Amino acid sequence: MPDTQLEHAQTLIKLGQPEQDDWALSRHAEALPEQRPVIVPLALWLEAATDAGLAPWLPSDTELTPELAERLAPAPLIAIDFPAFTDGRGYSLARLLRERYGYTAEVRAIGDVLVDQLYYMSRCGFDALALREDQHLDDALRALGAFSVSYQPAVDSQEALFERRLKEQKGNA
């Protein structure tokens, strides 16, 4: 496959900061590209999972079974595709990877990733966000810090707000 068919993130935010993206993205399922490092469709990655220069991307309809999670465990990163901003299944995949299967490496959102989704993506376990081309970095960084307090527990904070407040009260008593 010609490497000219590879995509590169225009804007990547990792751990809340802009970062140069070293990984290319291939959406072609027929053959592995020569370039490394590259994110490839899950089926191709499963065939060549021992290649450290490859990482898988999961379509939003992936059934994340314990067997698949075990195979994904050594991946240097896992990208989850959002085919449309209205498709929220990727949030569940990220949360399952982090909470149920204990995946600790990078989980990256790719595809139709919009600024107004970033805060919620980060709460579900995404630590890298590849913005859609028409999204602006300054807006994205502002959106990540839009809320100073969250009520519900999530991947980024295991305690609900009332639990945190109870601890504070006990500590001040």
Question: Tell me, what's the pLDDT at 108?
Answer: 97
- pLDDT at 4 exceeding the cut of 60: no
Domains of the chain: 3-148 (3.20.20)
So what's the pLDDT on residue 28? 83
Q: For residues 118 and 140, is the Cβ–Cβ distance under 8 A?
A: yes
Residue 84, both tokens: 């449309």
Averaged pLDDT score across all residues of the chain: 86
Q: Which residues pair with 14 in a beta bridge?
A: 17, 128
Q: Global pTM?
A: 0.84
Low-confidence winner among 89-93, 134-138, 160-164 (lowest mean pLDDT) = 160-164
Name the nearest CA neighbour of 105 among 80, 132, 84: 80
Cα gap 17→32, rounded to integer Å: 30
Q: Find residue 82's DSSP bridge partners.
A: 111
For 171, the enclosing helix (H) or strand (E) is: helix 161-172
pLDDT value of residue 2:
47
Q: Which of 59-63, 135-139, 158-162 has the highest mean pLDDT?
A: 59-63
